[in-house]
A and B are shown apart, each in its own frame.
Chain A
Amino acid sequence: MRFELTDEQTGFAAAIDKLLSTSDAPAVARAWAADDTGPGLALWKQLADLGINALLTEEAQGGAGAEPIDVVVAFEQLGRHAVPGPWVESAVFLPVALGSDESVGALAEGGIGTVCAPPHVPYALDADVAEQVYVVDNGVMRGATTRARHRSVDPTRRLFEVVSTSSTTGGQPTTGGASTTGGQPTTGGRSTTGVQSTTDRAFDLAVLAASAQLLGCGERLLADSVGYVKQRKQFGREIGSYQAIKHHLADVRIALDFARPLIQGAALTIDSPDRARDVSAAKVAVAEAAYLAARTGLQVHGAIGYTAEFDLSLWITKVRALVAAWGTPAYHRGRVLAALTVVEPVETTSSTTGER
């Protein structure tokens, strides 16, 4: 038992953090939101050079064959720096869902892919910059073409309707589909068909990556808020010295500290029957923690936090979008409950009143 990142993993996180800290990531995100994708694509290549895009690709296909925990480490940093682009889609979902398909090699090398996986992922993120666009149709991956664009509450998430190029749905947007990946709650690793179980696994890894992104967003919101309340003075002293402010921020610290081990733990059980339960538990907890960080961060900043000009807004809006991305909290709570009610009955634990 050793529940702590290795030096190699913390080193990987530090390398990504260093690159992003010197890349003016907020400016990149703002440009991306304004359809100036050049800086974002340049950053994409730099991050690909660090190996993020190849993490889940098998070594035989030119990938790193890394562990899910490495994905968690990388995606926390992407969240912390509000890096734009279809990262979950391109670096996590597609390499797993496409399996041995030769297109995976291009993604591992830094190519851009995106996917629409209804009903939980109704739009393909940043499909206009992607070289590979897919739609998941009852567990089957199909090529797709891009249609109407929608604005997200997070301006850096550019949403596109897509339609399958190889299906008979006659050009209808696939946003209303009812396939798994994930339509029905599954209890993890028990899907019937091979293709379905592959896309289900890809979906759960994507949920895990999005959870890590949320964790990074929450950590950044907290760090920026702590920095702000230490220097902002009112009534003659730093507002961070008031208990009303302290207690809000302490609650954020506590919520994030207890979301993190659920994400790390889910990375370790990704190939066990508990996969769906653990991934969903992580997403539920981190969505709540990051959302608390966003609300609290805005509140302790006051009006300056409500401006588009101030960078805090990048994370406030991103958190709201990610809370519902790759499965809403209601969906994930439903999956946890489904998993808990099918497991073998535990031994009775009568009468444990406490002690103090």
Chain B
Amino acid sequence: MNLDFSEAELAFQTEARVWLKANVPSEPLPSMDTAAGFRAHQDWEARLTEARYSVVSWPEEYHGRGASLIEWVIFEEEYYRAGAPGRVSQNGIFLLAPIIFEHGTREQQDRYLPTMASGEKIWAQAWSEPEAGSDLASIRSTATRDDERGGWVLNGQKTWSSRATFAHWGFGLFRSDPSAERHNGLTYFLFPLDSAGITVRPIAQLDGEAGFAEIFFEDVFVPDADVLGAPGDGWRVAMSTAGNERGLSLRSPGRFCAAADRLVELWKERGADHPESGDGVVDAWVKAQAYRLYTWGTVTRLADGGEMGAAGSINKVFWSELDISLHETALDLLGPESEVESTWTDGYLFSLAGPIYAGTNEIQRNIVAERILGLPREPKVVQR
């Protein structure tokens, strides 16, 4: 058992650190959920791509470096330690790409992945519907077969669609077999958000910015070439995304370790005035450290051929609660000034969404209890 990096890993770490120090913008970029900020974040992605840092773990032919999982975690740590901007391409590179690699055809991989990696095309997720939140399988939006044109016609509504306000493409599940129920008869579609029949209505979030949107579909044609996996097999295809979003991919430890380090710096400045916050600072740091070490354990198991599985739910509850308590402690330290807009208030508002998106923490706890502890499922409620 050891936590030592190889020579090659250390060299990679140094190279990334040096590049980030020289290239990370000294001033924070404007919010990616504004038109100007979105553009600025896309430009940043282009710079990352030039240096082949946008998708280090991808194959070289798609702008990657073929980096190992260990190197990916190392890069993420360096990225956040350097205070680099949030990733506007997040939904695509971390949530969708793993499924395209697994289920997409070679033609689809060649067509989608390069512009996704470079940030030229930004992807938005389209999971939830007004009547399908935690109960995602109750999706009502439909896909009707159109043999003449060789594709499908989408109708319905998606909501809470992150990044959709400014993004170029969307991905999500539609009911392609009206006679099937629940997890059956769903198909995974990819669609340009400027397609005829699509209307995007931005929704302002707690911070006032349009971080998510509703998407309305009115007879939107999608060719067969933009179906991911087999028609009717969408649930199985999509669940690999859910595992990625909940688990390792979305929330590398780097973000929390960097935030905990910033909190310690804040404590050094403000702690004398708020000694009662000392315990909160320690607990945030300890939990970030726990998350970091836990991730190394996960990386070891995955490298040995293990799977993330339901452990992603353990991860998700932990980091989302850590994120909130860490920011609460920072605001406590800021005292009466804490309401003044700052990176801490931004981070706090952002953290509040954590226990809700990517599967609420209540759903995650059900998964932990049923799939890891082996507790019995709740009896099905008979409807009608």
Contacts and interface: CB of A to CB of B under 8 A. Distances in A.
A24 interface: no
A242 B378 CA distance: 7
Interface in A327-356: 333-334, 336-337, 340-341, 345-356
B3 A268 contact: yes
B286 A353 contact: no
B350 A354 contact: yes
A352 B259 contact: yes
A255 to B, nearest CB: 9
A315 B364 CA distance: 28
A11 interface: no
Contact of B285 (A242, A261, A267, A340): A340
A353 B83 CA distance: 9
Contacts of A353: 28, 31, 86, 343, 346-347, 350
Given A247-B365, A356-B357, A268 B268 contact: no
A353 to B, nearest CB: 5
Contacts of A349: 80-83, 258-259, 261-262
A205 interface: no
Given A349-B81, A352-B84, A243 B366 contact: yes
Interface string A270-296: 000000000001001100000000000
B101 interface: no
B383 interface: no
A4 B376 contact: no
B282 interface: yes
Interface in B135-152: none
B281 A251 contact: no
Interface size class of A (residues with CB under 8 A): 35 or more
Interface stretch (B107-115, B220-228, B296-304): B296-304
Contact of A241 (B258, B317, B362, B378): B378
Given A351-B28, A352-B86, A6 B289 contact: no
B300 A281 contact: no
Contact of A1 (B5, B211, B286, B378): B5
B39 to A, nearest CB: 16
A63 to B, nearest CB: 20
A302 B364 CA distance: 25
Interface in B342-380: 343, 346-347, 350-351, 353, 357-358, 362, 364-366, 368-370, 372-379
A346 B265 contact: yes
B70 interface: yes
B97 to A, nearest CB: 15
Contact of B3 (A3, A254, A336): A3
Interface in A1-53: 1-6, 9
B2 A257 contact: no
A60 B54 CA distance: 54
Contacts of B265: 345-346, 348
Contacts of B21: 347
B370 to A, nearest CB: 7
A228 B303 CA distance: 35
Contacts of B4: 1
A66 interface: no
B33 to A, nearest CB: 10
Contact of A333 (B278, B362, B365): B278
B375 A285 contact: no
Interface centre among B278, B346, B372, B376 (most CB of A within 10 A): B376
Nearest to A69: B1
A222 B5 CA distance: 35
B376 A240 contact: yes
Contacts of A230: 374-376
A261 B136 CA distance: 33
A241 B31 contact: no
B347 to A, nearest CB: 6
Contacts of B261: 346, 349
Given A250-B368, A258-B287, A353-B28, A265 B293 contact: yes
A257 B314 contact: yes
Given A253-B314, A347-B81, A352-B83, A258 B290 contact: yes
Interface of A: 1-6, 9, 69, 222, 226, 229-230, 237-238, 240-243, 245-247, 249-251, 253-254, 257-259, 261-262, 264-265, 267-268, 281, 284-285, 333-334, 336-337, 340-341, 345-356
A-B pairs, top 4 by smallest CB distance, nearest first, are A351-B28, A246-B369, A261-B293, A355-B86
Interface of B: 1-6, 9, 21, 27-29, 31-32, 70, 80-88, 90-91, 162, 211, 250, 255, 258-259, 261-262, 264-265, 267-268, 271, 278-279, 281-283, 285-287, 289-291, 293-294, 296-297, 299-301, 304, 314, 317-318, 343, 346-347, 350-351, 353, 357-358, 362, 364-366, 368-370, 372-379
19 contacts: A1-B3, A1-B5, A1-B299, A229-B375, A250-B366, A250-B372, A262-B290, A268-B3, A285-B287, A333-B279, A333-B283, A337-B267, A340-B281, A340-B282, A340-B285, A351-B83, A352-B86, A353-B343, A356-B162
